[in-house]
């Protein structure tokens, strides 16, 4: 048995398992139009199979706003899947729905102003798209060339530095994001762990923001990095299908362990 197989078996047989998964690049391929992202059929089947098992909770942990995450995940009110959106500033709980989150009128007004100002400032740049975020703003540059990307990011950095220097700055796959809420995927996973009483956690992600959660996992947890690059994860897989192979193995072992 390899070290990877042993780690998968150990976490698969825990009493109460939380399977927390990033969405974009982890369950869904990265796409030019973010709202067209969908889980691959194999990923959907693996997620649904795990969510149907006893003492097993599946959660999507994403930087997407809650409404957008529900849309791309095709998540309805009957879903057993928990959601941690906006990097853990928003939660959706099965049977209860969206959890109330504190709002600050001044922060929201500043958010609206910055969204409008940044959007107007990059209108002339081909391939740059501004995403209004629940708690901030995202600058997407997947379809932009290097010059347009540099100009758009420079403009956003300058405006936020002047108007909202305390906002949290994040980068990811072709996105620069700012938010007045400072939660991260590490705090999101810990909140979920406590809420469900998980005795072990699997967390999988592919991007820089996922490293917050991967680096904060405890002994006995399993972190999985999808793709190449440096990571704090215990296990690396090449792509979405590689992650699905692991999720299928976990589901199989949990069923066998319960018999």
Catalytic residues: 22
Sign of CA dihedral 145, 148, 154, 159: negative
Q: How far apart are CA 155 and CA 121, in angstroms?
A: 7
Q: Cα separations (Å) of 124 from 24, 34, 146, 152, 241?
A: 27, 20, 15, 10, 38
Q: Cα separations (Å) of 187 from 54, 148, 178, 234?
A: 25, 34, 17, 19
* DSSP symbols for 112-172: HHHHHHHHHHTTTSTT-EEEEETTEEEEE-TTS-HHHHHHHHHHHHHHHHHH-TTSEEEEE
The distance from CA 126 to its chain's CA centroid, rounded to whole angstroms, is 27
Q: How far apart are CA 101 and CA 91, in angstroms?
A: 8
Task: Supply the angle between the helices 240-258 and 41-51 in degrees, to the nearest 10.
Answer: 30
Please say whether the beta carbons of 247 and 17 come within 8 A: no
Q: How far apart are CA 186 and CA 209, in angstroms?
A: 9
Q: How far apart are CA 165 and CA 183, in angstroms?
A: 16
Tokens (6 digits) for 118: 């940044």
């Amino acid at each position: 048995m390899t070290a990877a197989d042993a780690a998968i078996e150990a976490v698969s047989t825990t009493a109460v398992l939380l399977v927390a998964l990033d969405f974009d690049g982890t369950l869904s391929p990265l796409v030019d139009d973010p709202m067209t992202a969908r889980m691959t059929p194999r990923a959907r089947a693996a997620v649904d199979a795990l969510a149907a098992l006893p003492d097993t909770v599946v959660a999507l942990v994403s930087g997407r706003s809650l409404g957008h995450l529900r849309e791309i995940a095709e998540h309805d009110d009957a879903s057993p899947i928990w959601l941690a959106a906006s990097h853990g500033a928003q939660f959706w709980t099965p049977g209860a729905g969206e959890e109330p989150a504190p709002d600050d009128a001044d922060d929201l007004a500043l958010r609206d102003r910055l969204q409008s100002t940044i959007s107007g400032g990059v209108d002339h740049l081909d391939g740059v798209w501004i995403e209004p975020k629940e708690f901030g703003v995202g600058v997407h540059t997947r379809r932009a060339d290097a010059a347009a990307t540099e100009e758009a990011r420079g403009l956003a950095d300058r405006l936020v530095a002047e108007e909202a220097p305390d906002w949290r700055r994040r980068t990811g796959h072709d996105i620069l994001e700012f938010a007045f809420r400072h939660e991260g995927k590490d705090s999101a996973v810990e909140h979920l762990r406590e809420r469900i009483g998980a005795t072990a956690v699997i967390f999988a992600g592919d991007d820089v923001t996922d490293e917050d959660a991967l680096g904060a996992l405890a002994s006995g947890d399993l972190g999985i990095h999808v793709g190449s690059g440096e990571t704090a994860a215990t296990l690396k897989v090449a792509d979405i299908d590689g992650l699905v192979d692991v999720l299928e193995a976990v589901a199989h072992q949990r069923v066998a362990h319960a018999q």
